[in-house]
Chain A
Amino acid sequence: MNQPQVAVDVTEVTVEFSRGRKREPFRALDRVDLDVRPSEVSCLLGPNGSGKTTLMNVLTGLVTPSSGRVRVLDLDPATQRRDLLRRIALVPQETSLYPELTARENLTFHARYYGMSAREQRTRIDEALELVQLGARADDRAGTFSGGMQRRLALGKALMMRPELLLLDEPTLGVDVQSREAIWNRIEDVAREGRAVLLTTNYMEEAQRLGDQITIIDRGVNVVRGNLNELTSQVPEVERVEVPLVSLQDVFLHFTGRGLRN
């Protein structure tokens, strides 16, 4: 299969919902643009409720945009969803693990449910467990794992499928430094292998470390896109939190404001 030039191509996508008892119209995304290329880690930043997860749902075909163009691996998620789901993997915010099952049983179920052949299962499950450094705990129940171990196992579940595009929704939420470092290393490996990665995060440090491209959205609108250097150069010196370098946090606060989001 030829690898597409652009793994994710989102152009002027708008998503409108009606919400509340009065079914008032609500624009979750407003003419958002995004592109993710193979061999790159693209980070999507935004305050809570900014539309990050909605955009992830658009990419997986769970939400059909009201307008705009979406192509993921040259497929339309709205109409070619099944074909698309065979080629991508999503690690949602929630780890999607069964606490009563062991790490190996969780991976085995996932592999079977996602249609992996028995022969592939035998090698890939062990590989995935070693990749996320859980080989020694393979036969322990996931419910006994720490938050960091669960996140690693969730990542292992996605990596086992060897996706062309890896979607990660806040992959290091609430994990310890060691697990975070291990997860970051694996994400960088995926990009090095030529696959595309899109991750949403609220951690500036994470985006700064991993992001080849960074997109910030707020209230459903693109506010800025580019690599780290391009973004930091847009922030006036006076607003910088850290001296002497401009951090991504400075960029984020400059574009999204300092007010709390409820």
Chain B
Amino acid sequence: MHAALALAKKDLLVSFRAPLFVIISIVVPVAFTFLYAIVVHVSTTATIAIADEDQTPHSADFIAVMSQMHNSDGDYYEILTSDPDQARDMYEGADVGAMLVIPEGFGRSVDEGEDPAVTLSLVNINADGTKNQHLRIEEALRQFQQTLPSTPPDRLAILESTELERDIPVSVYLGSALLLFAALYAGIVSVGVSIAREWEERTAKALVLSPSGHASLVAGKWAAAAIMSVVTIAVTLAALGWVLGYPWHMLSWRSAGVLAIVWIYGAALGTLLGVKLRRALPLVPVAVLIAVAHFLVSGYESYIRGFAHGGGVELLWASTHWIPLAPLFDVVRFEVTSLPQPEGAIVAALGSLLLAAAAVSFAVWKLTKALRFTQGQ
């Protein structure tokens, strides 16, 4: 116990005086958070300029329908202007990617029971953005037409049933995955680097030759790394709250437990990587690769579910069942959105801890073996 505490204190002091790797462990998840903040915002809200040449109550109603469309993540549209000249200037100046022209006579067509027509101009550099504008404008027209007394009801009706009581906002879906990504990545990097640095600084042999044994070594490394990882997770959580509006105040002990389990899983992988690679800098990209792979497979599971029929994606989908982390990501999402907890979380937690124990056991075995063929080095 004293040995583990001594090692933890030493590691914290060394990290404080040479903080490069602590900074690296914070920068990556925070950078990912900002990257996904853009993705979430773009997928939720489309910007558009409207040239309202009609200037009638009907055109105003149509614009009102567009501005009120939203889902649990936010508004469908951010309408930058409805002034015709300004809209054209913005579109031609590439300040906006889409312009909707409501032509003169739009209101008269509506009054006369004709189908109203609008013109959508698009900078179609990205088909996904084009699709987003198509789907939204069609929905806007449909909703607008339903407000008119002369419009017949839809001939095709959609009856929707959902598995969950309510939608999980994409900011929560991705935000929770990013939070666990931060815990996993911090676990791998902080433990892995601190072990690898013992080889780089040629101090590993002195640690292994202590009568305190390998358990103290691993415990000391984990203790210091846990404290540094708390900083990483806290900074990531603050970034999530700031840029994604992630409702971190909804997290409770259950999510803290999940974070701890995912961190332990990462720390175990970090122990193995540190002992195996024995180099700190190469360990960082490997840690990023492992954490991103887990983020995509376990944290992004719902995105690949529909593509799981044939080809490489089927393998990817199958791997979500081999790596027991996916249900743990859902535990955090469901808690933040006050939904009943998913099934399989306890099995996933036990499976993750079992894998972690196996990784650490293998690492400790390698720890002794790795010192054997060193020719004095």
Chain A residues at the B interface, C-beta cutoff of 8 Å:
17, 19, 48-49, 52-53, 57, 60, 62-63, 82-83, 85-86, 90, 92-101, 105, 109-110, 112-115, 169-170
Q: Are B375 and A49 in contact (CB under 8 A)?
A: yes
Q: How far is the CA of A90 from the CA of B3 in the complex (A)?
A: 18
Question: Scoring B residues 349 to 377 as 1 if CB is less than 8 Å from chain A, else 0, what string do you get?
Answer: 00000000000000000001001111111
A-side contacts of B212, CB under 8 Å: 113-115
Given A53-B376, A93-B376, A93-B377, decide whether A82 and B213 contact each other with a Cβ distance below 8 A: yes
Q: How far is the CA of A109 from the CA of B210 in the complex (A)?
A: 12
Q: Are B209 and A60 in contact (CB under 8 A)?
A: yes
22 contacts across the A-B interface (CB closer than 8 A): A57-B372, A62-B208, A62-B371, A82-B213, A85-B211, A94-B202, A96-B202, A97-B203, A98-B14, A98-B201, A101-B10, A105-B10, A105-B13, A109-B9, A109-B10, A110-B206, A113-B7, A113-B207, A113-B212, A113-B216, A115-B2, A115-B210
B-side contacts of A85, CB under 8 Å: 209-211
Q: Are B209 and A99 in contact (CB under 8 A)?
A: no
B-side contacts of A97, CB under 8 Å: 201, 203
Please provide the chain B residues from 161 to 219 with a CB less than 8 Å away from any CB of chain A in the complex: 201-203, 205-213, 216
Residue of A nearest to B199 (CB): A94
B-side contacts of A98, CB under 8 Å: 10, 14, 201, 203
Q: Are B18 and A100 in contact (CB under 8 A)?
A: yes
Q: How far does the Cβ of A241 sit from chain B's closest Cβ, in whole Å?
A: 26
Q: Are A19 and B373 in contact (CB under 8 A)?
A: yes
Instruction: Taking A82-B213, A97-B201 as given, write out 10 further A-B residue pairs in contact, using a Cβ cutoff of 8 Å, ordered by the A residue number.
Output: A19-B373, A62-B368, A86-B211, A96-B205, A98-B14, A98-B203, A100-B14, A109-B7, A113-B3, A113-B7
Residue of B nearest to A157 (CB): B206
Please provide the chain B residues from 209 to 236 with a CB less than 8 Å away from any CB of chain A in the complex: 209-213, 216
Contact among B6, B17, B201 with A109 in the assembled complex (CB-CB below 8 Å): B6
Q: How far does the Cβ of A81 sit from chain B's closest Cβ, in whole Å?
A: 8
Q: How far is the CA of A18 from the CA of B206 in the complex (A)?
A: 25
Q: How far is the CA of A85 from the CA of B205 in the complex (A)?
A: 12
A-side contacts of B206, CB under 8 Å: 90, 92, 96, 110
Q: Are A57 and B6 in contact (CB under 8 A)?
A: no
Taking each of A48, A97, A113, which has the highest tally of chain B beta carbons within 10 Å of its own beta carbon?
Answer: A113
B-side contacts of A53, CB under 8 Å: 374-376
Residue of A nearest to B217 (CB): A113
Q: How far is the CA of A96 from the CA of B9 in the complex (A)?
A: 17
Residue of A nearest to B216 (CB): A113
Category for how many chain B residues contact A: 20 to 34
Q: How far is the CA of A101 from the CA of B377 in the complex (A)?
A: 22
A-side contacts of B371, CB under 8 Å: 57, 62
Residue of B nearest to A93 (CB): B376
Residue of A nearest to B14 (CB): A100
B-side contacts of A109, CB under 8 Å: 6-7, 9-10
Q: Are B13 and A114 in contact (CB under 8 A)?
A: no
Q: Are B376 and A101 in contact (CB under 8 A)?
A: no
Nearest 3 A/B pairs, CB to CB: A94-B202, A112-B6, A96-B206
Please provide the chain B residues from 1 to 52 with a CB less than 8 Å away from any CB of chain A in the complex: 2-3, 5-7, 9-10, 13-14, 17-18
Residue of A nearest to B4 (CB): A113
Q: How far is the CA of A115 from the CA of B14 in the complex (A)?
A: 21
Contact among B18, B205, B368, B373 with A94 in the assembled complex (CB-CB below 8 Å): B205
Q: How far is the CA of A92 from the CA of B206 in the complex (A)?
A: 8
Q: Are A101 and B14 in contact (CB under 8 A)?
A: yes
Given A53-B375, A105-B13, A109-B10, decide whether A99 and B201 contact each other with a Cβ distance below 8 A: yes
Q: Are B13 and A92 in contact (CB under 8 A)?
A: no
Q: How far is the CA of A174 from the CA of B9 in the complex (A)?
A: 31
Q: How far is the CA of A114 from the CA of B216 in the complex (A)?
A: 11
Given A62-B371, A98-B10, A99-B201, decide whether A115 and B211 contact each other with a Cβ distance below 8 A: yes
Q: How far is the CA of A197 from the CA of B18 in the complex (A)?
A: 36
A-side contacts of B216, CB under 8 Å: 113
B-side contacts of A99, CB under 8 Å: 201
Q: How far does the Cβ of B108 sit from chain A's closest Cβ, in whole Å?
A: 79
Q: How far is the CA of A169 from the CA of B371 in the complex (A)?
A: 15
Q: How far is the CA of A60 from the CA of B209 in the complex (A)?
A: 7
Please provide the chain B residues from 318 to 377 with a CB less than 8 Å away from any CB of chain A in the complex: 368, 371-377
Q: How far does the Cβ of B84 sit from chain A's closest Cβ, in whole Å?
A: 66
Q: How far is the CA of A53 from the CA of B374 in the complex (A)?
A: 8
Q: How far does the Cβ of A169 sit from chain B's closest Cβ, in whole Å?
A: 6
B-side contacts of A48, CB under 8 Å: 375
Q: How far is the CA of A100 from the CA of B9 in the complex (A)?
A: 13
Contact among A63, A105, A169 with B376 in the assembled complex (CB-CB below 8 Å): A169
Residue of A nearest to B197 (CB): A98
Q: How far is the CA of A60 from the CA of B208 in the complex (A)?
A: 10
B-side contacts of A93, CB under 8 Å: 376-377
Q: Are B6 and A82 in contact (CB under 8 A)?
A: no
Q: How far is the CA of A52 from the CA of B376 in the complex (A)?
A: 8
Residue of A nearest to B204 (CB): A96
Contact among A52, A101, A113 with B210 in the assembled complex (CB-CB below 8 Å): A113
Q: How far is the CA of A36 from the CA of B75 in the complex (A)?
A: 82
Q: How far is the CA of A85 from the CA of B368 in the complex (A)?
A: 15
B-side contacts of A169, CB under 8 Å: 376
Residue of B nearest to A97 (CB): B203
Q: How far is the CA of A52 from the CA of B13 in the complex (A)?
A: 35
Residue of A nearest to B10 (CB): A109
B-side contacts of A95, CB under 8 Å: 202
Q: Are A170 and B376 in contact (CB under 8 A)?
A: yes
Q: Are A94 and B209 in contact (CB under 8 A)?
A: no
